[in-house]
Structure 1
Amino acid sequence: MADGIQWLMDLDRWDTDIMFARGIPPAELATRMGAAPGSALPPITEADVWEAAPGTSQPHGADSAGLIRVGRSGDWSFAVEYGDCEGSRRVDEVSRDGVEAVHLAAQPDHPPKVFTYGYGGKPLCSFGIGEESWRWGERPELLVAELTAAGVLEPGGSESALRDDVPHQERDRRTLAVVETYFGLSLPWELVIVGRLPAYALRRDTDHFGR
């Protein structure tokens, strides 16, 4: 598999959110997401996460807001989220002080998947993957030209250009391809799925962390 992000669509079940950040190292990304500074756990695999807490949505105990595994690929640090990490609500914190943030929310139980881009402490553009004509944020038109060129949106961006009979997986892949190319995102499959990455448990009350 390639090291971009489109391989997420080939998983039997893509059910973990992913945060990308450009401008800070992985350890700082973990802190901004709610980890205590310097609290890295030994590197673990994805299988290790779930084996530590079978049958629960909280992979690191009841007092934790979840757990992340962090790494770096190209210009971007990344965090793979497990449990109630609430990454979609952390885009403002992750992107403060001139940092760029891209968040992909898998939402397996409440589709659609959601893309969010933040910069300078503000979410600038968000939309459902598969519902790209409905966008919000301070710059909702950010990717309209690219999505139009990819055949996802009609010119103007207010209507989908994809036929109803196009498989959902193919529809979503086209949008992920646009996001991957526009931001230069890379997520090494072997490292994320079978490799070992440093892990951090996130604390529940994270409103002031990283400040």
Structure 2
Amino acid sequence: MRDGIRWLVDLEHWMSSVVFARGISAQELAVRMGGDRDAATEPITDAEAWVLGEWYRPGEDGDGVVRVGEQEGWAFALEYGDSTGGDRLAEISQKGIEAVHYVPIQEHPPATVFYARDGVEVCGFGLREEIWRWGREPDLLLPDLISGHVLQPDGKTLVAPETEHYTDAYRRTLGVIEQRFGLSLSPAYLKEARLPAYAVRGTPDMHI
């Protein structure tokens, strides 16, 4: 059974984000997000990544770190702290690459999904706010959202009743994204599994 990405909805404390890219290696993804190609750590766990940086410095930017790997034909980067690597989605997707950025904020403001291709931010929307879409092709995923029972056929009305818990609605939308792009991420990567890490912002201590 594939891991998929719907399980990301159930994360309670991991409040950074994940970037997927198809057509480049994990190392290249880290570089496009601001990392030094030759400065990866030895593979580390999620818990070890959280001790690398100062995530909040009053009056200035904090540190940003990514752990990277590959699964199901996509490279992925887990962002930690004050990383802005995911904000470079158009740059990440240059030269024919596809990229997806999921920001798992809970309920309000909503989690968001962005899709870029070949240097262009194609489309994006907030989860449970899919009636408001933006990007070069804001309606690219509209047929998928309709067939996935997220939106009514008019594209302007949510299927879910207002009483539905936001996690159920989020899970349905992530299922649409998962199926459309074939995304998968093992839950082990946010537990005991080890991945190389790169500094992408600030001056974290990358020595474990």
Q: Return the TM-score normalized by structure 1.
A: 0.88
Match of 2:189 in 1: 191
1:48-59 alignment runs, 5 A limit: 48-53=48-53, 56-57=54-55
Q: Paired residues, what number?
A: 200
* Distance across 2 between alignment mates of 1:185 and 1:17: 15
Match of 1:20 in 2: 20
Match of 1:162 in 2: 160
> Which deviations, in whole Å up to 9, do the C-alpha atoms of 1:46-103 show, x marking residues without a partner?
11122345xx5259xx887400000000110000000111234210110000000000
* Distance across 2 between alignment mates of 1:86 and 1:18: 11
1:146 shift after superposition: 1.2
* Distance across 2 between alignment mates of 1:110 and 1:169: 12
* Distance across 2 between alignment mates of 1:71 and 1:126: 24
Match of 1:43 in 2: 43
CA contact (8 A) 1:58 1:82 kept: no
CA contact (8 A) 1:64 1:202 kept: no
Aligned residue for 1:44, secondary structure, equals coil
Q: 1:203 to 1:57 in 2, by over 3 A?
A: closer
Match of 2:205 in 1: none
CA contact (8 A) 1:58 1:66 kept: no
Match of 1:152 in 2: 150
> Which deviations, in whole Å up to 9, do the C-alpha atoms of 1:131-172 show, x marking residues without a partner?
000000011111111111121101121121111011111000
Match of 1:107 in 2: 105
Q: 1:174 to 1:109 in 2, by over 3 A?
A: closer
1:187 shift after superposition: 0.3
* Distance across 2 between alignment mates of 1:195 and 1:64: 25
* Consecutive unaligned residues in structure 1, runs of 5 or more: 205-211
Aligned residue for 2:42, secondary structure, equals strand
* Distance across 1 between alignment mates of 2:171 and 2:63: 30
Aligned residue for 2:37, secondary structure, equals coil
Q: 1:115 to 1:21 in 2, by over 3 A?
A: same
1:55-204 alignment runs, 5 A limit: 56-57=54-55, 65-108=63-106, 111-203=109-201
* Distance across 1 between alignment mates of 2:49 and 2:23: 27
* Partner amino acid, structure 1, of 2:20: F
* Distance across 1 between alignment mates of 2:160 and 2:94: 35
- Displacement over 6 Å in runs of 4+: none
- What CA RMSD, in Å, does the superposition of the two structures yield over aligned residues? 2.1
* Consecutive unaligned residues in structure 2, runs of 5 or more: 203-208
* Distance across 2 between alignment mates of 1:109 and 1:28: 32
CA contact (8 A) 1:64 1:201 kept: no
Moved more, 5-14 or 124-133: 5-14
Match of 1:5 in 2: 5
1:109 shift after superposition: 9.1
CA contact (8 A) 2:85 2:200 kept: no
Q: Return the TM-score normalized by structure 2.
A: 0.89
